[in-house]
Amino acid sequence: MTPIEEVMHTSEKHPLEIRNGGRIDRPEEEEKTLKHRFMAIGAALAVVLGACTSANQSASTAPGASQPVTSQPAGSAPAASAAGETVNLSIESWRNDDLSIWQDQIIPAFEKAHANIKVTFNPTAPADYNGVLNTKLEGGSAGDLITCRPFDASLALFQKGYLASVNDLPGLKNFGDVAKSAWITDDGKDVFCVPMASVIHGFIYNKDVFDKLGITSTPTTLAEFHALLDKIKAAGVTPLDMGTKDMWESATMGFQNIGPDYWQGEDGRKALIAGTAKFTDQPYIDTWKELASWAPYLPKDYAGIAYPDAQQYFESGKAAIYPAGTWDISTFEAAGLKNIGFFGPPAIKAGDQCYISDHTDIALGMNAKTKNPEAAKAFLDWVAGDEFAALYSNALPGFYSLSNSTITLTDPVAQQALDLRKTCKSTIRNSYQILSRGTPNLENELWRVTAAVINGKLTPAAAAKEIQDGLDKWYKPAG
């Protein structure tokens, strides 16, 4: 409905008004003054709300946000005019949280070395990104550089000819096969995105709360984990901070976080793809059982708590442990929560090999229809290099470069999570490669059923059956 138009339209045509010609004036007069008042009120509200959001933004982008948006190194202006023409590149991304980091740190560092290339970072809201990007690419209005989701979403873009191959990029030699695995064709011939970073799952804990309760060590086994949760709960603090309203936290920070220990990382993940394992097998049911047992430790009314709510609850210091992806580290530190630590998913029993979800999350590719392929390639090659790896990993604590260059992190919490790579075997989320190609979509279904399991609306066995039935509808394992 377009409110005001409908109102004007129908009231003008009203039969009674025409019949009683002399009375037409009154309602219209009234409406005119009304309309003016509505507009005034609307404008006032818009101003107030606008002020609120801009205040929010400036607060949340506090570190390093002092530079203006179009910051360019001082020396570059004459160089650009000497080169004759400035090339503009625009980056499509879903990382709207990182806007200030790209604008203030990454892009200026690139522009310092490439004076005639101007880069703009142009993010979309994460949940809308894939749809918006597809529409933009089809309409020919997408940016020159495309931030790549892992696996099929980007593979489909490459197959449709929207992403260019980056095989001939010299910088690609800095990446191992695992790093490239998320952005390579099934036959392994074409790489179409330069890997940027992975994220690691685990638990972030509030050291202040731990100190206050006299907790000195982080749990290494499930038994220790539950004993710890009980102890925190008895002290009147919320032990685990997660909501199920947005659903994806349940699947991503719950299921994919602790699950690899149950299904033994890559072995279990590849067995699902090969068809030799099913979601109805014990490891998966046990994972959901463990998640269902989290319910009493979650905040009251967790079914109505969304992801940002849970983040702010943890920031307020009311919860002890936050099931996390490492991307949360920078969010919490930016909010002023400095005294935090990180521990990996606890082992099922002492001495087990530990597995972590070290998920290939983000890469950068080139729009095949870009008007500035040379400039775009120059940027991609720089992204593949050591300078970017160090810059990015440090600017975004919690996103770990997939490049082979050794990086040391200044952020201790991010380093704690990175250290898990030394002892634990890495795997990626089991729903991402191949298994989310059909309908119903495995990843989206995992969100739904895992949230329902934690809400107590679905038993682990029923969840397993729904997932496997959905997968069986379309997925036929090769061989």
Partner 1 sequence: MATIDRAATRRRRIPWSLLVFLGPAVLIYSAFMVFPLFDSLRLSLFAPGGSGLGVFVGLQNYVTLLTDPLWSPRFWGALGNNLVFFTIHMLVQNPIGLLLAVLLTTRVLRGRAAYRALIFAPTVLSVVIVGFIWKLILSPLWGVASGALDSIGIGQLYGPWLGLQGPAIIVVSLMSVWQYVGIPMLLFSAALLSIPDEVIEAARVDGAGPFRIFSRIQLPLIAPTVGIVAVLTFVGNFNAFDLVYSVQGGMAGPEFSTDLMGTLFYRTFFGFQLQLGNPTMGATVAGAMFVIILFGVCLYLFGLQRRLQTYEA
Q: Which residues bind partner 1 (CB under 8 A)?
A: 1, 3-4, 6-7, 10-11, 14-17, 20, 23, 26-27, 30-31, 33-34, 37-39, 41-42, 45, 49, 127, 130-131, 134-135, 152-153, 156, 243-248, 299-306, 309, 312-313, 431-432, 436, 439-444, 447-448, 451-452, 455, 457, 470, 473
What does the CA dihedral 163, 167, 171, 173 come to, rounded to 10 degrees? 130
Least Å from the CB of residue 396 to partner 1: 22
Q: How many residues does the chain have?
A: 479
Which residue, 80 or 155, is less far from partner 1 as judged by CB?
155
Output the six-digit token pair for 362. Answer: 């983000």
Q: How far is the CB of 213 from partner 1 (least distance, A)?
A: 21
Query: Measured from the CB atom, is 31 or 224 closer to partner 1?
Result: 31
Q: Minimum distance between the CB of residue 298 and partner 1, rounded to whole angstroms?
A: 11
Distance (Å) of CA 445 to CA 172, 257, 427, 469:
35, 17, 20, 11
Residues 464, 288: contact at Cβ < 8 Å?
yes
Give the shortest CB-369-to-partner 1 separation in angstroms: 19
User: In this complex, which beta carbon is closest to partner 1, that of residue 348 or of residue 434?
Assistant: 434
Amino acid at 83: A
Q: Which is nearer to partner 1, 208 or 246 (CB)?
A: 246
Least separation, in Å, of the C-beta of 14 and partner 1? Answer: 6
User: Side-chain half-sphere of 426: how many Cα atoms within 13 Å?
Assistant: 17
Cβ nearer to partner 1, comparing 257 with 436? 436
User: By C-beta, is 29 or 267 nearer to partner 1?
Assistant: 29
Q: Which lies closer to partner 1 via its Cβ, residue 376 or residue 467? A: 467
CA atoms within 13 A on the CB side of 173: 2
Minimum CB distance to partner 1 smaller for 80 or for 428: 428
Is residue 388 within 8 A of residue 195, CB to CB? The reply is: no
Beta carbon nearer to partner 1, 110 or 151: 151
- Nearest distance from C-beta of residue 419 to partner 1, angstroms: 30
Query: CB-side exposure of 437: number of CA atoms within 13 Å?
Result: 14
CA–CA separation, 56 and 48 (whole Å) = 13
CA distance 291 to 242: 11
Q: Closer to partner 1 at the Cβ: 30 or 211? A: 30
Smallest gap from residue 398 Cβ to partner 1 (A)? 20
Q: How far is the CB of 250 from partner 1 (least distance, A)?
A: 10
Determine the Cα–Cα distance for residues 140 and 303; give it in Å rounded to an integer: 41
- Provide, rounded to whole angstroms, the least separation between the CB of residue 36 and partner 1: 9
Shorter beta-carbon distance to partner 1: residue 245 or 369: 245
Tokens for 411, please give them.
Answer: 């952020």
Task: Go through 374-393 and write b for each residue having 16 or more CB atoms within 10 A of its CB, e for each that does not.
Answer: ebbbbbbbbbbbeebbbbbb
- Distant-in-sequence, close-in-space partners of 310: CB < 8 Å, separation ≥ 6: 241, 242, 243, 249, 299, 322
d(CA 474, CA 469): 9
What's the min distance (Å) between Cβ of 433 and partner 1?
11
Residue 190, SS3? coil
Give the closest residue to 463 by CA, choosing from 303, 281, 302, 280: 280
Comparison of 56 and 339: residue with beta carbon closer to partner 1: 56
> Within 10 A of 221 (CB to CB), how many other CB atoms are there?
15
Tokens of 133: 């990007």
Integer angstrom CA distances of residue 243 from 125, 201, 251, 326, 446: 20, 17, 11, 18, 15
**Distance in Å, CB of 371 to partner 1, minimum:** 26
Shortest distance (Å) from residue 424 CB to partner 1? 25
Strand partners, 407: none
